[in-house]
Chains A and B, each alone.
Chain A
């Protein structure tokens, strides 16, 4: 259930230096999030599509992901055409849909999906552990990185624990319904999960102390910048600058 769906692959994007990917993904996401004009946003969508094509991911999986995470956007579509002030375009009973409202709804939809596609192409194609180490190299506080890596490491273990507890409940004939019994059972399940995690953490900590843990997470991973990385970085920075220019012209 919890797996890194896009992390393995042999594409150009998969082999890029993770530090470059993090930096460019971050700047790109910020620039797109702050853009509002259609020329800039359509350019962004095109760039994201190129990135996702380069990453050679299963289009079915990518599309499925996009559908799942567009929930809030769909929800806003119900309202925006009718609540945004502007010139009426068509009327639905007492409601007037405005041209501007629809334009705004399209704008946030394009924006959201352009950023998401870029995040899938750049971040989801890097294994979490590598991302953690790369963020460490980028001077993200050590303690946050450790928290990030440990949490990810133990999600799997605790998910198994959860699965076991769940199966035990099922074996005893538990059927979830809308009643207090169900909520109480789930609450005890969560409580048990927390208690077991806490006990496990104690054991982990002792084991780590035995192995000489002193609050520092050493890594053996070495990152090296290749010519391909430099080329990618230059192209991506120029593309982002181009988008900034287009957006700048649009608002002037």
Chain B
């Protein structure tokens, strides 16, 4: 769901960059310099995970995992996603420099929202609640990202409306898959390493 270079207009690019800068500075304030290795290694893990293609019918989609990124990293998902997108832009030319800000916001803001909505719920004792919120977290993160991408396009140019609508609809299956993957992944982490869940990398929690 990267927006390419050259598609958006100046106001969208500038707003995206400003919002990204705000999110990143909140993230960096909350980051304990001692925790750089942890955050970086988790960012690498998310980078690698986003290269995984899962089959869906005759086609396949790659994982996004911004929901679970938010759950694990809280506000730190802003710097984490910025770094991942910068690396993707340099290594594979996905996205770009001028769209780095808006792309970061489109992916990281849903992650932060999911962190606030679900970080308590996924560790709930009742299995139903924890599983349901895992699914909702993965689903909602991709849904919000698709909406933000669509809004960025429409704001830049009114005639992108139809294309933007199709982007959201086309991502419905991705939302379901991300929901399922997040559900199982949260269940797995709860059993294997519960201390990873709940944005514990933010400074105050340590």
Q: Which A residues form the contact surface with B (CB < 8 A)?
A: 1-5, 25-26, 29-30, 32-34, 65, 68-70, 72-73, 75-76, 78-80, 83-85, 101, 104, 108-116, 119-120, 123-124, 128, 131, 141, 143-144, 146-148, 150-155, 157-159, 162, 176-178, 180, 182-184, 186-195, 197-198, 200-202, 204-205, 208, 215
A119 to chain B, nearest CB (A): 6
| Residue among B63, B90, B96, B184 facing the most chain A CB atoms (10 A cut-off) | B90
Q: Total A-B pairs in contact (CB under 8 Å)?
A: 240
B131 to chain A, nearest CB (A): 12
Sample of 10 more A-B contacts, CB < 8 Å, known A30-B98, A155-B47: A5-B91, A72-B7, A80-B159, A80-B163, A101-B159, A146-B36, A147-B80, A178-B55, A187-B181, A191-B184
A-contacting 9-mer, from B107-115, B117-125, B189-197? B189-197
Given the interface pairs A69-B4, A79-B160, the reply to whether A150 lies near B36 with Cβ below 8 Å is yes
Given the interface pairs A69-B93, A187-B185, the reply to whether A155 lies near B159 with Cβ below 8 Å is no
A128 lies within 8 A of B93 (CB) = no
A193 lies within 8 A of B87 (CB) = no
Q: What would be 27 A-B contacts, judged by CB atoms less than 8 Å apart?
A: A65-B92, A69-B94, A75-B163, A108-B7, A116-B96, A119-B89, A119-B97, A120-B93, A124-B91, A128-B87, A131-B90, A146-B40, A147-B43, A147-B79, A147-B83, A148-B86, A151-B44, A151-B83, A152-B44, A183-B180, A186-B181, A193-B49, A194-B185, A194-B196, A197-B42, A198-B42, A200-B41
Partner of A195, one of B48, B68, B87, B196: B196
Q: Output the nearest chain A residue to B13 by Cβ-Cβ distance.
A: A33
B38 lies within 8 A of A202 (CB) = yes
Q: Output the nearest chain A residue to B59 by Cβ-Cβ distance.
A: A178
CA of A19 to CA of B182, assembled, Å:
40
Q: From DSSP, what is the main secondary structure of chain B's interface residues?
A: helix
A-side contacts of B31, CB under 8 Å: 143
- Contact mask for chain B residues 58-97; partner A; CB cutoff 8 A; 1 contact, 0 none: 0000010100100010000001101110110111111011
Given the interface pairs A158-B45, A198-B196, the reply to whether A150 lies near B96 with Cβ below 8 Å is no
| Residue among B10, B34, B159, B193 facing the most chain A CB atoms (10 A cut-off) | B159
Given the interface pairs A69-B93, A194-B45, A201-B42, the reply to whether A183 lies near B6 with Cβ below 8 Å is no
B181 lies within 8 A of A183 (CB) = yes
A144 lies within 8 A of B83 (CB) = yes
Counting chain B residues whose Cβ lies within 8 A of the other chain, the interface size class is 35 or more
Residue B128, interface by CB 8 Å = no
B177 lies within 8 A of A183 (CB) = yes
CA of A109 to CA of B48, assembled, Å:
29
A-side contacts of B4, CB under 8 Å: 69-70, 72-73, 112
A-side contacts of B147, CB under 8 Å: none
CA of A136 to CA of B20, assembled, Å:
19
Q: Output the nearest chain B residue to A80 by Cβ-Cβ distance.
A: B159
Given the interface pairs A72-B3, A150-B37, A178-B57, the reply to whether A183 lies near B98 with Cβ below 8 Å is no
B78 to chain A, nearest CB (A): 11
B-side contacts of A191, CB under 8 Å: 184-185, 188-189, 192
Partner of B96, one of A29, A104, A190, A202: A29
B-side contacts of A78, CB under 8 Å: 163
CA of A184 to CA of B7, assembled, Å:
37
A204 lies within 8 A of B90 (CB) = no
Residue B144, interface by CB 8 Å = no
A57 to chain B, nearest CB (A): 12
CA of A151 to CA of B96, assembled, Å:
18
Residue B161, interface by CB 8 Å = yes
Partner of B87, one of A26, A75, A151, A201: A151
Partner of B6, one of A111, A148, A193, A204: A111
Given the interface pairs A176-B54, A183-B184, the reply to whether A124 lies near B6 with Cβ below 8 Å is no
| Residue among A32, A110, A155 facing the most chain B CB atoms (10 A cut-off) | A155
